[in-house]
Structure 1
C-alpha cells in the first residue's frame, strides 16, 4: 500500500499523507530482521513481501532523503542479493536452486528503485545473472518467444480457485520490463523478441470481463509497454485507463451519487481478479493504483525508434 503513495510522490516528511507514510515505514522498521529481511520466513512466499517492502522503503528514502532510512534500505537490498541463485534469478527462499520469472521481476523492480536512490550493489553482475534465467525461460512456442513462469515456456501460475481465469502474457511483460531495466545494450526497445512480446500484450488489453481480470498482468504489462512506447503502448494505454477508472468503486455507473461516507468501498477496487481471493481489497486497490502510476514511477530508459 505504501507504494501507492510513493508512486504519486508522497513521503513521510512532506505532503498531505505524512502520517500515513510514517506509520507504514515505522511498521516496516519493526518487522525488519537483522539479516535485512522484512517479516518472517515462515511462508515460502515471503520473498514477494520482501521485494515489495524493499521497493517501498527505498522509494521513501529517495523521495525524502531521510538518512535514517538509508541503512534500512541498504540492508534490504543486501538481502535480495543474498537470496539470488548463483548465476540465475530468484524464487521462494534464499538461494533455493529453483527460479521463477515472477519473483525475479519483483526483485529487479526493487533493485531498479534502489539504483535510482543511489544505493550500492554489483548491478552489472546481479543483472547479468538474472538475465541468464530469462534466457532459459524464454523459448519459441509455435513461432512465438514465450517467457515461462518457472520452466522454459511454461504457463502462468494460477490459484486452485482461479483455474478458470484466462492465461495471458504476464511473464512476457516481465521479460520486457526486466530486460529494459537491466540496461543491457543488446536488449533495447527494438529487440525483435521484445517487440513480438509487446505486440502480444497489446493484443490482450484490459477489459472488465470476469475470466480476463488479472490486475497483476495489467500492472506488469503497463510497466513494460510504457517503457516500450510506440504503437504497443498506444494500443494499451486507453483500454487500461478506461477499464480501471470506470471500475473504481464510487465511480462506477451503479455507484453514482455515493461518497466515502455512504460507501465503505469508495475509492477501492473489488478483489474479483485472478489473485483477489489471496490479496483482497487492499491488494486490488494498491496494485491498480500502481498501474495508474506507471507514468510517474520510472522514466523511460530508452525511446523507441518507431
Structure 2
C-alpha cells in the first residue's frame, strides 16, 4: 500500500481556528508513490475488510444511520470510524464517500445531542456518548465541507464538556477519575471509562481544551482497576496481571485487560509497569471466540498490543486476523453468536471487527504509535 499523509499531519500543516477548510488538496489520502500503485495486490485481510465495509453499508438506512438494532447514534458512530479507518473520506464523490457523509450528517442532527450529551436520545448512555465523542475527534478536519467541519467542532466541544463534568462528580476514592452509565453517576467502571479516556486524549491531540488533571485523574482510576496491588512506587506486586471491570475485583478478564492496556497507553503511560504487565498477561491468556464480549475485547486488544510492539504486536496481529477472518460470514459481515453481544447486531460486530483489523492501515490517529 502507498504511504499516506495522516490526519494529524494534515491538521498541523493546514488548519484555521481548529476547523479545516474543504476543497484543499490535503483533504483525503495523498499518495507519495503513485507510480507503484498498480503493484499492490490485496491480500486475504484486505479482501475481508472490503467485504465487511460493503456489508456494513448494506445496513445504512435512508436517514443515514447505520444500525440494525438499538442505539442508532452510537452504532452509526462506530460504523463511521470503521469507514474512516480504511481511508474513506466524506468529501469523496464515491459511493463510500457519500455514505460516510450521510452517516456523519445523521449523527450531527441536533436531536441526537441533548445539552452536549449524545447518550440520551438513542439510549446508549455514557457508552454511546464516549463512542460518538471519539468518532467526532477522529473525523475533525475530515468533513465534506467547511460547514460540516464547523458543526463537528461545535458538537465535539459540547460533548467534551459533558465528559469533564461527569468525571468531576463526587465519588468514593477508588472510583474517582472514572465514569459510569450516566453523567451524574457516583461510581465508575472500566468499560465505560475507556471510551471517555480515548475521547479526551484524541480531543487533546486535536488541540481542544482538555485539562492535564483530567488525564491524571483517569490514570489514578485505571491504577485502582489493576488486579494486583501496587507498592509505594506504583509498581504491581504481581508483575504479570490485568484489569478488572471495577476496582476491588481481583480477577482479570481478557476484555477488561485489553481495555485497561489501551486506556493506559491512551493516557500516555506507555512505559508503565501496568502496561507491560497487562501485555504479558494477554500473551499468556490469548483471545478466544467464546470470550465474553469477544468483538469488544478484540477492538482494544488489536490496538493496545500494536502499541506495545515486538512479540505482543506480532502475536496480536496474527491472532486478530486468524480469529476474525474465521468467523466472518459469507455475506461479509460479522455477528456474535454468544452471550450479551448476540443482541447488539451486525453493525456493532462488523464495525468492531473492521476497526480491529484496520489497525494495519494507520488511517485513524488512535492507531498510530
Q: Is the 8 A contact 2:242 2:281 kept in 1?
A: no
Deviates more, 1:101-110 or 1:51-60: 51-60
Deviates more, 1:233-242 or 1:212-221: 212-221
CA change 1:274–1:219 in 2 (3 A) is: farther
Partner in structure 2 of residue 145 of structure 1: 241
**Post-superposition offset of 1:56:** 1.8
Partner in structure 2 of residue 48 of structure 1: 127
Q: Secondary structure at the match of 1:140?
A: coil
Partner in structure 2 of residue 22 of structure 1: 101
Q: For 1:207-222, list aligned pairs within 5 A.
A: 207-208=288-289, 210=290, 214-222=294-302
Task: Note the residue ranges of structure 1 that are not aligned, 5 or more in a row.
Answer: 157-167, 251-265, 302-306
Residue 251 of structure 2 is aligned to residue 171 of structure 1: no
Question: Within 2, Cα distance between the matches of 1:228 and 1:35?
Answer: 38
Q: 2:194 aligns with which of 105, 110, 128?
A: 105
Q: For 1:278-293, list aligned pairs within 5 A.
A: 278-293=343-358
Question: Within 1, Cα distance between the matches of 2:301 and 2:81?
Answer: 18
Question: Within 2, Cα distance between the matches of 1:53 and 1:212?
Answer: 23
Residue 352 of structure 2 is aligned to residue 270 of structure 1: no
**Post-superposition offset of 1:60:** 2.1
**Post-superposition offset of 1:2:** 1.3
Deviations 1:69-122 (A, max 9, x none): 211121122211122145411111113110111111011112233223332221
Q: Secondary structure at the match of 1:139?
A: coil
Residue 199 of structure 2 is aligned to residue 120 of structure 1: no
Question: Within 2, Cα distance between the matches of 1:194 and 1:95?
Answer: 30
Partner in structure 1 of residue 312 of structure 2: 232
Partner in structure 1 of residue 71 of structure 2: none
Question: Within 1, Cα distance between the matches of 2:80 and 2:241?
Answer: 35
How many residues of Structure 1 are paired with residues of Structure 2 in the alignment? 268
- Tell which has more relative contact order, 1 or 2 (C-alpha 8 A, sep 6+): 2
CA change 1:15–1:83 in 2 (3 A) is: farther
Question: Within 2, Cα distance between the matches of 1:246 and 1:15?
Answer: 33
Q: Is the 8 A contact 1:268 1:285 kept in 2?
A: yes
Q: 1:188 aligns with which of 239, 248, 270?
A: 270
Question: Within 2, Cα distance between the matches of 1:230 and 1:21?
Answer: 34
Partner in structure 2 of residue 197 of structure 1: 278
CA change 1:294–1:42 in 2 (3 A) is: closer
Q: Is the 8 A contact 1:222 1:291 kept in 2?
A: yes
Q: Is the 8 A contact 2:299 2:356 kept in 1?
A: yes
TM-score (norm 2): 0.66
Q: Is the 8 A contact 2:242 2:277 kept in 1?
A: no
Question: Within 2, Cα distance between the matches of 1:192 and 1:34?
Answer: 40
Residue 196 of structure 2 is aligned to residue 131 of structure 1: no
Task: Note the residue ranges of structure 2 that are not aligned, 5 or more in a row.
Answer: 1-78, 170-175, 230-236
Q: Is the 8 A contact 2:215 2:267 kept in 1?
A: yes
Q: Is the 8 A contact 2:136 2:156 kept in 1?
A: yes
